[in-house]
Every structure is written in structure tokens, then in C-alpha cells.
Amino acid sequence: MMLQVQNKRIEVKELGFKDYKETWDEQERLFKEILDLKVKNRRENTQIETPNYLLSVEHPHVYTLGKSGDISNLLINENQLEEKGAKFYKINRGGDITYHGPGQMVIYPILDLDNFFTDIHKYLRLLEEAVILVLKDYGLVAERSKGETGVWLDVGTPFARKICAMGVRASRWVTMHGLALNVNADLGYFDNIVPCGIKEKAVTSLNVELGKTTVNMEEVKQRFFLHFKELFEADFSTI
């Protein structure tokens, strides 16, 4: 069996402010492109490089429910969703329900992990680590919470609060979906769900933690890209 040539270049796609469903469709398109190429390489015994992508986006208000999620964790009905200008989708990632909206840095890595390492556990831990390092840049001590994917503050105390949610899908070592870091998020929208299915734990945002009205989103993103690039030993190109 021919070994795959590793391609550690990642193309960063800045999508700006984009509807969730449109972005999901774009993820699916890129995901399929990589999977089809891997199948072709296997069938034809070729070594065409598989690409990697990192989508950066902010969404209008939306709630998404993972494939193992419980719909009862959405605490409002269809009419109330409309009143709040929010949409709802059941999607094919892991995890339960979460919220995306303005002021949130959403990152979707569409990677062929055969180009890096074939270990989903390590992949999730490195995503968390990139966020932990970003928050450290801002003077915050963030960490993991045992059994709960994502990034938290004050773990193990009555004041534990989640600042970054994660949920991924992988097939043949190709990833999609990703993470959402609250930077300047309207936390009131989290009151309409049981975030990630975890009761009695708070959610926070970087601007709240820093006592600021807003934090520079572009600066946060660039810090994330830097840490991601170093952790994955990758090369970035941006379009």
C-alpha cells in the first residue's frame, strides 16, 4: 500500500458574516472534495495531495443540535425563535445543542488528518489548546473540564463557566464543524438553551472577562491562527 504524501498547507477562507446553512453547505462541499480525492487515490493507487481548509466566520443568531443531542435542551418554540431573529438546525456533528451569533469567532477546520496525525482525541485536545493559548495571551487562565469538550474558566469551582464550545465530525480522517469562541457574544441568547446539554453551568465571553465593551475580533482571530499553525506544524495561505 502506497503511503500518502503529507500536505501541511492549510487554506484559510475568511467568510465574514454568513448564514449558518450556507456555511454548512460550503463545509459539506469541501469535505466531499477531500473524501472523493482520498477514494480516488486509493482506487487508482495515485498520490494526489489532499487539501486542507480553515473556515473563519461569524453567523447570524442560530441554534444547532448535534446528532446525539436532546431537542428538549432547546427551551423556546418556533414562534419564539422567530421573535428573536434566530434559526434552528439539527446537524451531523457530535455534541448537543449550542448557539452561534454575532460577536463569536467560529472556526471550521476541514482537514485531512492523514496530513497531520490520525488521532481524533489529539485533534480535539489541540483545538482546545489553541483556544487556551489565545486566552492566555489576554491574561486568562483557561482549561479543560474532565468529560466536557471545550474550554472553561474556573473549573472545579461554583463559578465554572464555558467560553468556547466544540463539536466535530470526522470520516476517513477528514474533519468538519469545529469551535465557537465567545469574544463579544450576546450571552442572553444562551438563556434559551441548556448549552451543550450541561445544566447549572454558566457561559461567558472574552469581553465580559476582560471588563470591556468589545474586544478586537480580528486580533483574536490572528492570535488563534498563530497558535493553531504552531500546534499543527502547518503552513497557512489566506484568500
Binding-site annotation, residues for substrate? 93-100, 165-167, 178-180
Handedness of CA 228, 30, 119, 180 (dihedral sign): positive
Residues forming the annotated binding site? 93-100, 165-167, 178-180
Q: Which of 166, 198, 168, 161 has the alpha carbon at shortest distance from 180?
A: 166
The residue type found at 30 is L
Residues with catalytic function: 196
Q: How far is CA 40 from CA 47, 111, 124, 236, in A?
A: 9, 17, 28, 25
If DSSP states are collapsed to H, E and C, what string results for 175-229?
A: EEEEEEEECCCCHHHHHHECHHHCCCCEECCHHHHHCCCCCCHHHHHHHHHHHHH
